Amino acid sequence: MKLENLMAAYNRESNAHAKYIAYAQKADQEGYGKVASLFRAAARSEQIHLKNHAEVIQDMGSAPKADIKLPEIKSTRENLEDAVTGENYEQITMYPEFIAQAEKENKRDALRTFMYAKSAESEHARLYKEVLDNLEQWKAAKADFYICPTCGYTVQGKPAVTSCPVCAKPATDYERVS
C-alpha cells in the first residue's frame, strides 16, 4: 500500500509542478507578476516534494512514474481557484490518509516525505486564498518567495525565522524564487 501511495503522491506533485509553471506564464501574460512569482515558487516546492517522494520510491526498488496531464489554462483567477482546491485536497484528504497508512506500517521515510509535503501544501493553500481575496493588489511586478530546499515550505519575503518550521533546515539555505 505504501508504494502505491508514494506513486500517487509522486504523480500528483509532478502534475502540480507542470500546472503551476503554466499558470505562472498565464499570470505573467495577464499582468499579475506577483501571482506568477507565487506560482513559480509553488512549482519549485512541488518539485522538491516529487524529488523526495522519488527517493523513497527508488529506495524501495521501484521507479517513479508520472502521467502529466495539464488542465485547461484559464484566467489567473480561475487558475488560483483550481490551485486552492488542489492544495486543500492534498492537505486535508490525500496526505492525512497517506500519513496514517505510513504510521500504521511504521514506514518512517514515507511518513517524513508525506509530512513535509502536507505542511507545504497547507501554506500554499493559505497563500493562494490570500491572493484570491486580494487579487488586484497582486497585479504588480514580481515578488520574492523563499522555499526550503529540504521540505518545500514556502514563505513570501525573506524568512523571519532562523530555521524551517517544518524540517529545521537553516533559513539561510532557503532558495529565492521570483
What does the pLDDT look like over 2-50, one tens digit per residue? 799 999 999 999 999 999 999 999 999 999 999 999 999 999 999 999 9
The whole-angstrom separation of Cα 2 and Cα 7 is 9
The whole-angstrom separation of Cα 8 and Cα 53 is 10
* Residues in a beta bridge with 163: 170
Residue indicated by cell numbers 490551485: 83
**What's the pLDDT score for residue 139?**
86
111: helix, coil or strand?
helix
What does the pLDDT look like over 113-148, one tens digit per residue? 999 999 999 999 999 999 999 998 888 888 999 999
**What's the pLDDT score for residue 1?**
55
| Number of neighbouring beta carbons within 10 Å of residue 172 | 8
